[in-house]
Amino acid sequence: MNRNDMQNKPIVCWSIAGSDSGGGAGIQADLLTFADFGCHGCTAITANTAQNTTGVAAINRVSLEALRSQLQALQRDLFPAAIKIGLLANREQVIAVAQFLRELFRVAKVPVIYDPVAVASSGAALAESSSGEAALDALFPLCELITPNLHELESLARAPVAGAEQIVAAAQQLQQSGDTAVLVTGGHGELVEGEIADLLWDGERSDWFVGDKIASENTHGTGCTLSSAIAACRALGYPLRDACVVAKAYVQRGLRLGDTDAIGSGAGPLGHCGWPGDLQDFPQVLVPGDVRGRSYGQAGNIDTFARGFAPVDACALGLYPVVDSVEWLEKLAELGVRTLQLRIKNPGDDLKSLIQQAVEIGERYNLRLFINDHWQLAIECGAYGVHLGQEDLQTADLKAIKRAGLRLGISTHGFYELLRAHRYRPSYLALGAIYATDTKDMSDQLQGVEKLAHMAALLPDYPLVAIGGINLKRAPAVVAAGVGSVAVVSAVTKAENYREAVRAFRALLPGG
């Protein structure tokens, strides 16, 4: 069975973990989380713990036969889109789960998120010491992501984690041991006072996700919830970095809004408060060149960072055609289209002349005209604005663009890139690709209108542009998702009657 076979069926997530009789962590927290993300949760219980909000009284491990029978029953009827693994109580359970996953992957490989639980929040040991070594050898290579906290990272990597550099080094060491991504959760320490930062290392690059520390005693189950939220997002098709930032926001929302003070006399459970729809709950993604990175071991030239670019004159930019010639610019400007982009992907020797002509047309018709990629010539020719992709942010002189007073638009593909781009406070943000498009292969970065609506809700008063495969039939659903502008290419330039297409699009959009 593959993902296509599971279309039009409920998204199924598994939790292989211990049961918390107090209802705050383990499979109880996982099931609440799966439900908040619209997934159907299934469980394979590894241990029945006797605990409440004040501590753990007993850990009753299930037999290998009982564990295997649960897993086999689920495989026969409720095949998972993603799996979260929590408490594995001993070495034998680790090996049994690893063996099962290898067999499962012969049918279909699914994302596995492993929270290597060893010690409860109260300090009680939950797993035998030998389970960690077994996990390193047998289980980690089968996982897409492991989510240790600082104590677990130190134990598994057998390395100190007293500062940012040591955390990064230990995460890299752990990642190499199993060739799996590592998300180090920072809730047990503050590298910067008042901030909680998680580190993601996937073997190629690292990211720090930084959020404000929330004063709350209701923290029981945060680690379980984070890993199960990541699993749910992966089951929904979110890329790993998107899944991590959404899951972190979900936990932050639970800490901020959870009202569980009356549950028990000890540390209350984390709140499960639904989809994270407020920007304040999402982490800040540290970007290269930002002075804040010094506190998290990021070196580099801080002079490259710039934020707060010149604003556009409206939040709703309306119809936004992307064209490859000055002829199209003028034809569309004559129809009253105000927001346009000149994108010349294979420039010749006449590039500067074309940009100069485009700028003149923009001035004549009072256009919001953005030049794609060629920021140096956009500055030299006095353009209204420039549009950059994510990769261009590393090479463009953002300070020069800002000094020249140019507006800046940035492409994003999902939550992670949206948060990253928002750190620069550009003039607008482009969200895509919403649908598959003929102009570029974006099959691994399709958003769809549901995800678009979630992203748009985070920035309700910010100029947002939806792009990618949008035609007249799809445009109403895209606009209803909450964006004030729709970027199109072939829907206008290849339309049977481009004038009629422009009129129809403009009638749908708040900015015309």
Q: Which residues pair with 320 in a beta bridge?
A: 487
Pair 46, 17: CB distance under 8 Å: yes
Say if residue 373 carries a ligand binding annotation.
Answer: yes
What single-letter DSSP state applies at residue 235?
H
Say if residue 469 carries a ligand binding annotation.
Answer: yes
CA atoms within 13 A on the CB side of 242: 22
What span, in angstroms and rounded, lies between the C-alpha atoms of 183 and 188? Answer: 14
Which among 395, 466, 396 has a CA at the least distance from the CA of 428?
A: 466
| The 284-285 sheet, strands edge to edge | 55-61, 40-52, 12-20, 82-85, 112-114, 145-146, 181-184, 195-201, 206-212, 284-285
Q: How far is CA 183 from CA 207, 246, 281, in A?
A: 9, 13, 18
What span, in angstroms and rounded, lies between the C-alpha atoms of 436 and 452? Answer: 14
Say if residue 115 carries a ligand binding annotation.
Answer: no
As a three-state string, the secondary structure of 366-433 is: CCEEEEECCHHHHHHCCCCEEEECCHHHHCCCHHHHHHCCCEEEEEECCHHHHHHHHCCCCCEEEEEC
Task: Specify the 3-state DSSP secondary structure of 318.
Answer: strand
Say if residue 20 carries a ligand binding annotation.
Answer: no
- Count CB atoms within 10 A of the CB of residue 255: 22
The burial of 327, by beta-carbon neighbours within 10 Å (0-12 exposed, 13-18 middle, 19 or more buried), is given as exposed
Pair 510, 482: CB distance under 8 Å: no
Degrees, nearest 5: CA angle 272-273-279: 125
Say if residue 341 carries a ligand binding annotation.
Answer: yes
Say if residue 440 carries a ligand binding annotation.
Answer: yes
Say if residue 339 carries a ligand binding annotation.
Answer: no
Say if residue 4 carries a ligand binding annotation.
Answer: no
Task: Specify the 3-state DSSP secondary structure of 300.
Answer: coil
Sign of CA dihedral 49, 147, 274, 258: positive
Say if residue 345 carries a ligand binding annotation.
Answer: yes
Say if residue 392 carries a ligand binding annotation.
Answer: yes
Say if residue 290 carries a ligand binding annotation.
Answer: no
CA atoms within 13 A on the CB side of 456: 27
Binding-site residues:
341-345, 372-373, 392, 411, 437-440, 469, 489-490
Binding-site residues for Mg(2+):
373, 392
